[in-house]
Amino acid sequence: MSLRVVFMGTPDFAVPPLAEIVGQGHEVVAVYTQPPRPAGRGYELTKSPVHRQAEAFGLPVLTPTKLKTEEAADAFRAHEADVAVVVAYGLLLPKPILDAPREGCLNLHASLLPRWRGAAPIHRAIMSGDAETGVMVMRMEEGLDTGPVCMAERTAIAPDETTKELHDRLSRIGADLIGRALAALSRGSLGCRAQADEGVTYAKKIDKAEARIDWSKPAQAVHDQIRGLSPFPGAWCEMTIAGKTERVKILRSARAEGAGEPGLGEPGTVLDDRLAIACGTGAVRLVELQRAGAKPLDAETFLRGAGVGAGARLG
């Protein structure tokens, strides 16, 4: 049975779920997304990825700046939706909005709740060295990601997987999951269970101050920081290139087995001519780097232009 759906989402992560809902034949009566923001060198107003996709589908798009008004609630109720689907929308939903659809609001969240409630679950899972994550569909409540879980899909996190790579995988997995959840809802068979009280963690928004690499940490922690912040905001360090200190982003790394035994160098020391870097314990090998204003380069290409050799120190 086709459902009347209000879709609420903003970034790239939410585009495949929207496409899945449309593809299943549900009636998307409105798409809510964040307003156009200044972007690019010219700071031109740019529509969100969901906004652009919704327009391509010919769907009505709304971009309110707030929902906590009587007018916003009245407008939402006027859609007469069976259900609202929320995927990384960016605004908190007040109770009048949560209560408006006949079947309530379903949220697609990129973690294994109650672990990593909040804004940056993919980044935090990788930065913490989690071996597994997933996506979950939950019924929304007023609390932050506290609602009962209806469906879940788990997946392993590969040892060198970056946030971008995991983000894209979870988006595809999530699209399939929300499709199955709506199918179950239309049959009246979508059951949900309360989240566990144990194991609650919060995925706070990434602060750019977290991006500087601390080479005194163990190699695994440095590696997890680099891949967890790739590509945005990008973990970084300082290098001396042609006598000038530059900030360089590290977009990809690998564990440098056997390169960082005690005594081989202080943390931050380049150990060989292939960019193995000593850490507090062990070492990492830098695989992809980006100088300011330049495109990302593999380590071999980067070294041809930067000349950072064994014995150099990174800050």
* Domain residue extents for the chain: 4-202, 208-306
Residue 114 in marked binding region:
yes
Tell me the residue length of the chain: 315
Q: Tens digits of per-residue pLDDT, 166-186? A: 999 999 999 999 999 999 999
Residue 112 in marked binding region:
yes
What average pLDDT score do residues 56-60 get? 98
Domain 4-202 has what CATH class?
alpha beta
**pTM of this prediction?**
0.94
Q: What is the pLDDT of residue 220?
A: 96
pLDDT at 262 over 80: no
CB under 8 Å to 58, separation ≥6 — which residues? Answer: none
Tokens of 193: 């269970």
Residue 111 in marked binding region:
yes
What percentage of the chain carries pLDDT values higher than 90?
A: 90
pLDDT at 196 over 90: yes
Residue from 247, 272, 268 nearest 259 by CA: 272
Q: What is the pLDDT of residue 253?
A: 98
Q: What is the pLDDT of residue 264?
A: 63
Question: What's the CA gap between 178 and 172, in Å, rounded?
Answer: 10
Q: What is the pLDDT of residue 312?
A: 93
Residue 216 in marked binding region:
no
What average pLDDT score do residues 246-273 get? 83
- Tell me which CATH code domain 208-306 carries: 3.10.25.10
pLDDT at 265 over 50: yes
Question: What's the CA gap between 169 and 134, in Å, rounded?
Answer: 10
Question: What's the CA gap between 179 and 185, in Å, rounded?
Answer: 10
pLDDT at 263 over 90: no
CB under 8 Å to 52, separation ≥6 — which residues? Answer: none
Q: Tens digits of per-residue pLDDT, 108-140? A: 999 999 999 999 999 999 999 999 999 999 999
Which contiguous run of DSSP H or E holds residue 278? strand 276-278
Q: What is the pLDDT of residue 307?
A: 84
| Mean pLDDT score across all residues of the chain | 95
